[in-house]
Structure formats: structure tokens, C-alpha cells
Amino acid sequence: MSPSFSISYANQCIVITGGNRGIGHAFSEAVAKAGGNIAVIYRSAPDAEKVVEEIGKKYNVKAKAYKCDVSNTALTDETMQKIDKELGPITGLIANAGVSVVKPAFELTQDDFNYVYNVNVFGVFNTARAVAKVWKERGHKGSIVINSSMSSQIINKVNNNSPLTQVFYNSSKAAVSNLTKGLAGEWAQYGIRVNALSPGYVNTDQTAFMDKNIRDFQASQVPMGRFAEPHEMTGLALLLLSEHASYMTGAEYFVDGGQLVY
Ligand code: NDP
């Protein structure tokens, strides 16, 4: 008999931070397409509610946007409980929201540090813990996927001689990849799995600042010779969220067109 493999998200509720645009939007669509209800957390985009509503209509699932700064602990806890009541029970989280500051190290400020680390590290911790609290109280199991980056391992370059100036971003991704392992270890006893998905370069607003020279150089560093499209991140996320991944936790998986081994 040939093996069959399909993932349905029917009757599930997945929270996706930053699920209104970029890679997060692709995650939202993929979950909805697989029949899951989606709760999207966004920061300030004026069109977020409309964007999420449209995904819900397109795939005939419940879909709602929640405005919440993931670096605010009280608000994040409150939002997660609200989602659990309105669309839940929550069954999975994709902690995807992330930001970058691209500046030479000599120009970086404490505010830049706080901005990047508050979202990329503390914000991920906040959302993961808020969901884990809900599950722990109910005795439910669940899966958390953290969108880190291949930057957790390498320093990206502008050309052969010069690094891309984003030391806070890169170091924040190293931190959040390590945080993934720590949370996985602590929460395995509650049946909560935590894994990191680490993309290479993806065509989104976050990479739009690169001019053609930088972009061409970056693409030349990727064995597959190109940046990814957001939807190319979704297969692994859906797998990690599902029961097919029931023995997978505390790991970082790279979806980078082979860049890290090049
Ligand atoms: P985008 O810049 O396209 O989108 C960022 C998303 O995060 C938006 O939805 C934004 O909401 C949300 N967000 C930002 N800050 C907050 C906050 N404080 N609270 C709640 N939501 C917030 O990013 P990408 O899609 O490019 O990246 C998504 C993730 O993937 C990030 O973690 C990024 O670091 C990572 N990644 C991206 C790569 C790439 O090449 N693009 C490569 C590797 C990793 P709003 O729209 O309201 O501002």
C-alpha cells in the first residue's frame, strides 16, 4: 500500500502573529486552506482586519484580526484569552512577527536594540507563554512554531567583503532559536512542543530595502539561486503544528534553498 499523507486543520484554531502580511500572511492562508480557523495578531496595519476577513471568506473558515503589540505582556495574555473564547480552543501558535533595523553597528542605539529584541525575542516569548498558559490551565497539548531565521547561524553579507549591517537582528534570531530549545525542554512535560522554522531570504517587505546589487549577491549565495516566496515556508509550519510531528520538539529547521551548507 502506498503511504498517504494529508493534514487537515478542520476544527482547529491557529494563532499567527504578524499573519496579515509577508510570510505570516502565507501561514494564515495555508492554515485556512487546510480548513483551520485563524486568529491573526498584528501591530498597526490599517488593512489587517480586511485582509484577514478576506482569507476567512475565501476558505470558508473563521478568521479574525486582533490588534496587539506582542511585546506587551498584559495585552498579549488578554488577547490570547479573548481568542481562545471567541475562536478557540486554540490548538497551535505560529510566533512569526519580527522586525529588523539595518544600520552600521557604530550608529545603533539602545532604542534600536529595544525595538528589535522586544519583538523578536521578548515578543515571541510573550506569545508562546500566553498560549502555553491557556493550554496548561486546560490540560491541553499544543504545538508552537517560532519563525526564527537562518541569520541565527550566519552573518549575511552585502558582498564578499562586507557584512549586511543588522547585528541586532542576527543576534536576536540566535537568541530566539536558543529560546525555542529552552521552552521545548520546560514544556515537554505539558505536552507542548516548540520548534523553530528558520527561513533564508524571502520576498517580503522586510527584504524590500535591498537594492539590485545586494539582492543579486544574496541570491548568488543560495544554491537554488533565488529568494523564496512566502508560501514556500508553509509546508514545514503545517507539518510542525500537526500530530504528524508528535515526536518533534526543541529543533531548528532551515528552509533556505541550501544557503547554510554552501
Ligand atoms: P514583514 O515585515 O513583511 O511583516 C512583519 C509582521 O510582523 C507584520 O504583520 C507586522 O504587523 C508584525 N509585527 C511587527 N511588530 C509587531 C508587534 N510588536 N506586535 C505584533 N505584530 C508585529 O515580515 P516578514 O514576513 O518578512 O517576516 C516574518 C518573520 O519571518 C519575521 O520574524 C522575520 O524576522 C522572519 N524572517 C524573514 C525573512 C525574510 O527574508 N523576509 C527571512 C528569515 C526570517 P503590522 O503589519 O501591523 O506592522
For residues 76 and 130, give the distance between their C-alpha atoms in angstroms, rounded to a whole number.
Answer: 7
CA-nearest of 205, 221, 222 to 18 is 205
For residues 239 and 30, give the distance between their C-alpha atoms in angstroms, rounded to a whole number.
Answer: 11
List the beta strands (DSSP E) in 116-203: 142-147, 192-199
CB of 24 closer than 6 angstroms to any ligand 1 atom: yes
Q: Which of 59, 173, 177, 198 is catalytic?
A: 173
Confidence of residue 4 (pLDDT cuts 50, 70, 90): low
Catalytic residue at 173?
Answer: yes
CB of 70 closer than 6 angstroms to any ligand 1 atom: yes
Residue nearest to atom 6 of ligand 1 (CA): 18
Q: What is the pLDDT of residues 207-217, one digit of tens each?
A: 888 889 999 99
120 has pLDDT over 80: yes
Q: What is the pLDDT of residues 134-173, one digit of tens each?
A: 999 999 899 999 999 999 999 888 888 888 889 999 999 9
Q: Give the ipTM of the model, two decimals please.
A: 0.99
Residue nearest to atom 34 of ligand 1 (CA): 98
Mean pLDDT for the chain overall = 95
The CA-based angle 72-76-78, given to 5 degrees, is 125
The CA-based angle 179-185-186, given to 5 degrees, is 90
CATH number of this structure's domain 13-255, picked from the four choices 3.20.20.140, 3.40.50.10140, 3.40.50.720, 2.40.50.420: 3.40.50.720
For residues 165 and 233, give the distance between their C-alpha atoms in angstroms, rounded to a whole number.
Answer: 25
3 has pLDDT over 70: no
Q: Which of 9, 59, 66, 169 is catalytic?
A: 169
Taking the centre of ligand 1 as the mean of its atom positions, its distance from the CA of residue 111, in whole angstroms, is: 18
For residues 192 and 250, give the distance between their C-alpha atoms in angstroms, rounded to a whole number.
Answer: 10
Beta bridge partners of 42: 67
Q: pLDDT > 70: what percent of the chain?
A: 98
| CB of 146 closer than 8 Å to CB of 196 | yes
Taking the centre of ligand 1 as the mean of its atom positions, its distance from the CA of residue 94, in whole angstroms, is: 12
Confidence of residue 1 (pLDDT cuts 50, 70, 90): low
65 has pLDDT over 90: yes
What is the mean pLDDT of the segment spanning 20-33?
98
